[in-house]
Each structure stands twice: as structure tokens, then as C-alpha cells.
Amino acid sequence: MIVPGAGRALCAMRIFRPGDESAVVEMWNETLTRDPLATDRFVRRTLADPNFRKDGLLIAEEEGKPAGFALAVAPGEAHHLFSQPAGAGRITGLGVLTPFRRRGIGSALLDAAAAFLKSRGCRHVSFAAHEYYVAGLDREAYAGGLSFLAARGFKETYEAVAMARELYDLDVPASVRETEAALRRDGITAGFYSSGDGGAVIDFFRAEFPDWQEFFMGKLDAGDPFEDIAIIRTPAGVAGYCQRLEADHVGPFGVSASLRGRGAGTVMLYRLLEGMRRRGFRFAWFGETGRAQPYYARAGFKVTRKYAVMGKDL
């Protein structure tokens, strides 16, 4: 595909090829400056996604040099943590290097990404709705991107919020200690994962959060300390799970439906944060808190970023 060059040399557009990893990551980091990406993370989170298709990652070039990219992912047969509902596609990232802007390249990449999603049966597209890369378009950092999408028919569907807290002053409130004691009397405890909990954790995922298993397996495969994982144990098995994802990023975090409202999740969260603090972490953050924002606020987390999630019918 040829992209008009507004009087300059024409840009060509092609699909991703093995060996393009570094070029895509470099373009990502030069254009999405608030959300830098490492190559190994790109491989794990994008290329290893069973729903990734090479023709969903488009690269614009001028005279063989990368000028911009667009990454689109459509739901497929493989059930995956980042899968969208049937008929709903996602554009995870789009960027054009500064020397090539205002030449129609971004619009052409956006149109090509939308065409890819339509060819995969998508009826709707969301932009950047991917919490483990970025939950949406940061209102401050990417104000120009918001205007770009709005001019092309995208509308805000909801606001996503990231929250964080420092761990220097972490102190478990007396009310949480009291809740922990009351739960213990019922045989419910929060603690760190141990090798004997594997089967019960898998059963918990299958019953409550099937998509989370890959995060757990990733921690085991990496040989990370067991203090990276906090769980809730009950007489019937594991009923809650929370982990340090990478660096000081926390998630996923959740409790069995039957145990919600009793404070067990809060006890588990504080246990994980205590472990992180002991190991030298001084900060903890969630990439997207959704409707649970008041819950995290009570645990000392404050809003750090606000994202607009943009969508459009195809």
C-alpha cells in the first residue's frame, strides 16, 4: 500500500516481518513517550499473544526507513487474558515519527488497522484499551492523539484511572488487623504462596478468573520469589489472589465471589504490599482501577493518571 507523501517521497506500508521487533519498539518509544516499552515485553505481550496476526501490525516506511506503525488485535479462537469480546477489536498503539507527521501517514495507518479488524469480523474498535500496556490515552500526555481520533469519528466511551501509593509510610490500619483476626477465627488466612498451593490456585482460577492463569505461570517460570504472590486460604481452598506483576506494578487482584465484602481482599493486598516493602520496593501501582477506585483509595492509593478510552463502530 502506498501512502500519499504531500509532495515528498511516497511512503509504503507493509505488514510486520520477523526481525522488525526492535524497529517497532523504537518507534513506540519515540512516539508514545509516556509509556516506554522494552523489546522482551513486546514479545511477551504482543507477539506471544495467540490472537496476534502479523497483518495486524502495520509499518509505514519511506525509502526503507520506518516512519510509523499501528498495532491492531482482533479476538480469535484462542481465549487469552487480553482477548476482546467477539466483534470487538482493539488498536493497542499507533505512532508516526516526528519528521513524517502531517502527511496523512497516521490516517492511513489508522484506516489500515480498521480494515484489518473489519476483515476479522470486528464491528467495533477501541483504542488503547489494554491495561497491561496502557489503559487508554493519557489525557495530558497525548492530547494531540485524542484530537486526532476525535476528528476521525472516535468517541470517548469511558475514563480509565491509574492509582499508586508510596510504601515508605505503609502501615496496616488497626481495622485491617481486626478484620484479619476475625477471618482467622473462621479458618480464613492471607499469606504468601507456597509450592503446596499450586493445585488450589489453579482451581481458583478455573472457578473465578480463568484468564489469570498465565500471569501465575509466568511468575513460576521466571523463578520469582513467592513473596510476589499473596493468596487467601480457606478450609475449602484458595479464595483470593494478588501478585506483583513486574517492577512495582501490582495485578491481577481479586477474591472469590463468596468471600467479597468481608475485607479478605484488603488483608491480602496489605500482605503483598508489606512483602514488597521488605524487599526494597518503595512504590506500588495499579494500571487501571475501574469502579474499584474508592476501594483502593481507602488503602492509600491516589490517582496518578487519567485515560480516555476511545471507541468507534466499524
Which of 7-16, 76-85, 224-233 has the highest average model confidence (pLDDT)? 224-233
pLDDT value at 64 more than 90: no
Q: Model confidence over 93-123: pLDDT tens digits? A: 999 999 999 999 999 999 999 999 999 999 9
pTM for the complete prediction?
0.81
Average pLDDT over residues 19-39: 94
The yes or no reply on domain 169-281 and CATH 3.30.1330.40 is no
User: Rounded mean pLDDT of the chain?
Assistant: 90
Which CATH architecture describes the domain 2-161+308-313?
3-Layer(aba) Sandwich (3.40)
Amino acid at 112: A
Instruction: Check pLDDT > 90 for residue 134.
Output: no
Residue 13 has pLDDT above 80, yes or no: yes
What is the reported pLDDT for 142?
A: 92
How far apart CA 90 and CA 84 sit, in angstroms, is 7
Q: What is the pLDDT of residue 79?
A: 53
Name the band, by pLDDT with cuts 50, 70 and 90, for residue 9: very low
Between CA 287 and CA 163 the distance in angstroms is: 7
Give the range with max mean pLDDT: 81-90, 176-185, 243-252. Answer: 176-185
The yes-or-no verdict on residue 81 having pLDDT over 90 is no
Q: What is residue 132's predicted lDDT score, i.e. its pLDDT?
A: 61
- What's the confidence (pLDDT) of residue 247? 87
Of the candidates 271, 267, 239, 231, the one whose C-alpha atom is nearest the C-alpha of residue 255 is: 239
Distance CA 256, CA 162 (A): 23
Which of 139-148, 166-175, 191-200, 210-219 has the weakest average pLDDT? Answer: 210-219
Question: What are the residue ranges spanned by the domains of the chain?
Answer: 2-161+308-313, 169-281
Residue carrying the nine cell digits 511512503: 11
Hunting for cell 507527521 — which residue is that? 101
